[in-house]
A = this chain, B = another copy of it.
Amino acid sequence: MKRKIAIGVIGLGKRGIGLLKGVILPREDVEVVAVCDLYEDRRERASALVETATGHRPAAVNNYAELLMMTNIDAVIVTASWTEHLSIAIAAMNAGKYVASEVGGAYSVQECWQLIEAYERTKSPCMLMENCCYGRDELMVLNMVRQGVFGEIVHCSGGYLHDLRNEISGGHVNRHYRLDQYIHRNCENYPTHELGPIAQVLDINRGNRLLSLVSVASKAKGMQEYVQRDNSTNPELAGVDFMQGDIVTTTIKCARGETIVITLDTTLPRYYSRGFTVRGTKGMYTEDNHSIFIDGRHDQDHGDWRRQWGNADTFREQYDHPVWKNYLAEGIKGGHGGMDWLVFNDFFQSVRQGTLPPIDVYDTAAWMSISALSEDSIALGGQPVAIPDFTNGKWISRRAK
């Protein structure tokens, strides 16, 4: 058997533990050499998990710099808090590690540039672990786009449409950093679901790029009403003002002329969706009723379009993405309906082969910068804000696989 990939995991909260259980420990080609978290109980829990699964107890440290100094580590997985993703990723690149960075938004454009500069200096690859790029529907639609089924694409939309009120309000109890974000900031704080899949559909950084955005936030009423309704569980939140608007609408213009609408929608009651929508000159895909409309094939009868709901499933046989066909043939593994497994599978494959990951630093910087830029636009009353070209012109000649 090939030598195992030696990894360190930085950040052992819910997500870190979930990844260990779901996609890291089940792999025979990966060895967890070290784990890191500020909290001792989390380190202990993770260490025990690794020991139970493998018989080997990993090193457990509270300072990630210590983990990065370990020369026997090939790659690190960063699942720390949003505020730390990029600085830890940069430190890891400087230490010569392959980096898998969990998703989140950037706080400034400058930290995105620092990531780029770290990569260009060290050539240590960094992949943003945007699992939604591996969703079955997202990949099927991407496959259809590449085959021209929807014609020329002119518009996409999507977002993070997930009622997180319970999770946010429990932040102080479960030590999740999200709560503080919602109290202090007002921006598109979680853009990469569904910007990631849309960026792939639109060849962003590969013949196209994100050019500018405008961002507008609604008032913030969801959290306030929620914690007042249930103040027995969250007495410390009584009277707290939440600055984060309930719905943030960000409209992005691309270099080739497409528009993208990204919505943050996490503090009002709703069903979960990523609202993925792709519009082309020959057809459309809509997640919210899981339908595909092909010009000349699905008629435009005003009253009877409900019969089309759910018809996207009928396109699976022809258009399911090869990645998913293989995956299903092998049997679904890992969390989030397989997306976690697939995104980490691509990461570990890059590490093993020494190749660049499919989602690279330029994507990471461009996608994460939307948070900082939307914060600027909202603060300026919806002012259009330019999105930097983090590739410094390389997007013109870079090509999608």
Interface residue ranges, A against B (CB under 8 Å): 151-152, 154-155, 163, 212, 214, 216-219, 221-222, 225-226, 245-247, 249, 251, 253, 256-259, 261, 265, 268-273, 279-284, 286, 288-291, 293-296, 298, 300-302, 305-306, 308-310, 381-384
Contacts and interface: CB of A to CB of B under 8 A. Distances in A.
A259 B247 contact: yes
Contacts of A261: 249, 261
A296 B221 CA distance: 17
Contacts of A384: 214, 381-383
Nearest to A380: B384
Contacts of A218: 154-155, 257-259
24 contacts: A154-B218, A154-B221, A154-B222, A155-B218, A163-B300, A214-B382, A216-B251, A216-B253, A216-B259, A218-B257, A245-B259, A247-B259, A268-B280, A268-B281, A268-B284, A269-B281, A270-B284, A270-B300, A271-B301, A271-B305, A288-B288, A309-B309, A309-B310, A383-B383
A314 B309 CA distance: 18
Contact of A155 (B226, B246, B256): B246
Q: Which of A261, A269, A301 has its CB near the most chain B CB atoms (within 10 A)?
A: A269
How many copies of this kind of chain does the complex include? 2
A132 to B, nearest CB: 13
Given A214-B214, A271-B293, A288-B289, 15 more contacts: A154-B218, A154-B246, A214-B382, A214-B384, A246-B279, A268-B281, A270-B284, A270-B293, A271-B300, A271-B301, A288-B288, A289-B309, A309-B309, A309-B310, A381-B384
A269 B288 contact: no
Contacts of A279: 246-247, 265, 268, 270
